[in-house]
A = this chain, B = another copy of it.
Amino acid sequence: MNKPLRVGVAGIGTVGAALIAQVASQRAQLTARCGRPIEIVAVCARSKGKKRGVDLKKMKWFSDPVELAGDSSIDLFVELMGGAGDPAKTAVEFALASGKSVVTANKALLAKHGVKLAQLAEKSGVALNYEAAVAAAIPIVRTLREGLTGNAVNRVYGILNGTCNYILTRMEQEKLSFAECLKQAQDLGYAEANPAFDIEGHDTAQKLSLLASLAFGTKIDESAIYVEGISSIAAADLAAADELGYRVKLLGVAVKTPQGIEQRVHPTMVRKDSAIAQVMGVTNAVTIDAAGINPITLIGPGAGGAATASAVLSDIADVARTQVGYTRLANDKLQNSGKPEFCVKVAPFGRPTSILTSVRKAPMQRHEGGYYIRLQARDKPGTAASIATRLAEQEISLESIVQRHPKDGPSADTAKGSVPVILITYATSEDSVRKALAAVGHDKVISGRPQVIRIEKN
């Protein structure tokens, strides 16, 4: 029997407990598949007394994660504490610097310090794996990092936040307001008491920053992402989208453009017959467009203890399989270090950090695509002509225009004496749309602010 891979886990919440349970229940399979046992030999958490439903008796207890990270009783450090700062940051740095591979589910940490941590991992010749940090059980990191090694990726986009997708699904299916559905999501535990991080798109942005790096070889940079949340979406938008053959999803999109990599998070209209439009509720999904191949879409649970633990365990198993007793040095010579070390098979972000490229925030006024526009137009002669003229001035062509008096009189979304007008444009620039709508505003033919939702071609 080969020596076991000795694992230390910092953070025993839902995911940590699920991981410990899964390792216990799959012991024989893991040993057979990795060629050696995987043993969680040490754990660290804030409260030792807390009931967690798993047996920790045989594990060494640490109250300081940094101490665990550097302890010689472990080969691999699993970080499940979360947070971009300490103690997670220092603990992971310490583990990598002391030659231990690291597995983490911490998207915030990687979004902020990913490149620096990858450099540390490279220097030590150890692995830094983080499948669970993006869309939990969906094998998207593996697919981009290893599966598409030889593909020119054109675009990667996805539903990366279950809370938002749950809210949008409920709004569409039950014709409820954003506020009502957010409340339901909170009652069900799908949304935090302070939901801003999810609904304003920041959670999606952190995950997108990792996917963009893997897809395009960019340096992870959350600040280069344009971010817009879903709180302005009305039931009327979802109904109009439905009628026009679309659904509204909060997408994170990273796409190659002539001006560079454009990264953005915003509510998006997607064609109802696309795979991603079918993804309802808390489920996540990611679609990859690459040169020469039709899109690949991966769908699955993007959160939850068991789903996240499953991804963490797949990362641990990768390390267990590739630990061969020799370490690969930076100059690619092998050195027999006398103790089991790691044969690292892949750079943390798919490419050596030295060739990751900087990325700038793409100005959204330059964004090109189709647009959905919903206006409350004053119900008087000449309004439609006035709107059409302003769009024409900006050379915006319309795919469709729907103006209709609500069946049952004005709804909550409509003002008195006004009718909703829905416009779908052909591809144009965001700048043109904003200018046209500013002119429409000046003409005083609409009430309220126009609703604008970008259409993602798929």
Q: Which residues of chain A have a CB within 8 Å of any CB of chain B?
A: 2, 18, 22-23, 25-26, 29-30, 32-35, 38, 131, 137-139, 142-143, 146-152, 217, 273, 275, 278-280, 283, 290-301, 304, 306-307, 310, 313-314, 316-318, 321-322, 324-326, 328, 332, 334, 343, 345-347, 350-352, 355
State how many angstroms separate the Cβ of A40 from the closest Cβ of chain B: 12
Q: Is the CB of B352 within 8 A of A32?
A: yes
By a CB distance below 8 angstroms, the chain B residues around A297 are 298-300
Pick 15 A–B contacts, CB within 8 A, sort by A.
A25-B152, A32-B351, A32-B352, A32-B355, A137-B296, A142-B143, A148-B310, A278-B278, A290-B310, A292-B310, A294-B300, A294-B301, A296-B300, A297-B298, A322-B345
Contact of A150 among B146, B275, B304, B313 (CB under 8 A): B313
Q: Which secondary structure dominates chain A's binding surface?
A: mixed
Residue numbers in B under 8 Å from A275 (CB-CB): 275, 278-279, 299
Contacts of A294 in B (CB 8 A): 137, 283, 300-301, 304, 307
Instruction: Tell me the complex Cα distance, A444–B322, Å.
Output: 66
- For A149, the chain B residues whose CB sits under 8 A away are 29-30, 33-34, 313-314, 317-318, 321
Given contacts A150-B30, A296-B138, contact A345 B326 (CB under 8 A): no
Known: A2-B332, A297-B298. 12 other contacts (CB 8 A): A35-B332, A35-B352, A142-B142, A146-B317, A275-B299, A290-B310, A293-B304, A296-B298, A296-B299, A298-B298, A322-B343, A326-B326
Q: How far is the CB of A242 from chain B (nearest CB, A)?
A: 15
Bound-complex Cα distance A38 to B23 (A): 37
Q: Of the candidates B138, B314, B332, which one forms a contact with A146 in the assembled complex, judged by CB atoms under 8 Å apart?
A: B314
**Contact across chains for B328 and A324 when beta carbons are under 8 A apart:** yes
Please, which residues of chain B bring their CB within 8 A of the CB of A351? Answer: 32-33
- Shortest CB-to-CB span from A351 to chain B, Å, is 5
Q: How far is the CB of A138 from chain B (nearest CB, A)?
A: 6
In the complex, are the beta carbons of A310 and B138 less than 8 A apart? no
* A307, B143: Cα distance in complex, Å: 14
Question: Provided the pairs A23-B150, A148-B314, A310-B151 are in contact, do residues A296 and B347 lie with their beta carbons within 8 angstroms?
Answer: no
Which residues of chain B have C-beta atoms less than 8 A from A143's C-beta? 139, 142-143
Check B142 against A147 for contact (C-beta < 8 Å). Answer: yes
CA distance A261 to B306 in the complex (A): 24
Give CA–CA (A13, B380) in the complex, Å. Answer: 65
Provide the residues of chain B in CB contact with A283, threshold 8 Å.
294
Chain B residues in 8 Å Cβ range of A18: 292
Question: Which residues of B lie under 8 Å from residue A138 when comparing CB positions?
Answer: 296
A159–chain B nearest beta-carbon distance, Å: 12
A158 to B299, CA, bound (A): 14
A307: chain B residues within 8 A (beta carbon): 292-294
| In contact, B299 and A293 (Cβ under 8 angstroms) | no
| In contact, A318 and B146 (Cβ under 8 angstroms) | yes
A2 to B299, CA, bound (A): 38
Closest B-chain residue to A19, C-beta based?
Answer: B150
B298–A293 contact, CB under 8 A? no
List, in ascending order, chain B residues with CB within 8 A of A148's CB: 310, 314
Q: Which residue of B lies closest to A38 (CB)?
A: B150
Question: Ordered nearest first, which 3 A-B pairs have the shortest CB separation?
Answer: A292-B306, A296-B300, A149-B317
A148 to B307, CA, bound (A): 11
Q: Is the CB of A314 within 8 A of B150?
A: yes
**Which residue of B is nearest A350, CB measured?**
B33
User: Which has the most chain B C-beta neighbours within 10 Å: A143, A279, A297?
Assistant: A297
